[in-house]
Amino acid sequence: MSIVATLASGFMLALTASGAVVAEDVIRSGEVISPGMLVTEDGTPVFDSPLIGREVRRTVYAGREVSMENTQSQRLVSRNQVVTVKYIRGGLEISTTARAMEEGGLNDTVSLINTNSRKMVSGVVQSGGWVLAQ
């Protein structure tokens, strides 16, 4: 028996009586979940889920449960990647480049080394893959 629930975010999620959403086929580590990759335990496709758009932490094999715990927000910044860093205050905007010391997804705080001054800074990852310095 499957149940269709509407979440507060407006997403609809198809659940089985046990509540499990499983991988239809193998989803490799680092792969972003797209519509059609998930099914309920009885094989009903799941197209609207908060899991769609998230990145799988470890390989999930067909028929295994996919949950918020074994996924993460999509990585926009990778470790050692050179990214644009912006400092914005009122009408002032200063841009420079920095090397990321860790990976991060949207709204994650990451540590960076400014490529010009070699000083450590931290900032919040933005949707375009750039970082807003704090």
Question: Domain-by-domain residue ranges, the chain?
Answer: 21-73, 76-133
Between 5 and 61, residue with greater pLDDT: 61
pTM for the whole structure: 0.66
CB environment 21-52: b (16+ within 10 A), e (fewer): bbbeeebeeeeebeeebbbbbeeeebebbebb
Share of the chain above pLDDT 90, in %: 75
**Options 3.30.70.60, 3.40.50.300, 2.30.30.760, 3.30.420.40; which CATH number does 76-133 get?**
2.30.30.760
Digit-coded pLDDT (tens) for 66-117: 999 999 989 999 999 999 999 999 999 999 999 999 999 999 999 999 999 9
- Position 134 confidence tier, pLDDT thresholds 50, 70, 90: confident
Nearest one of 73, 65, 64, 59 to 29, comparing CA atoms = 59
Digit-coded pLDDT (tens) for 6-27: 445 444 444 434 468 999 999 9
pLDDT of 42 > 90? The answer is no
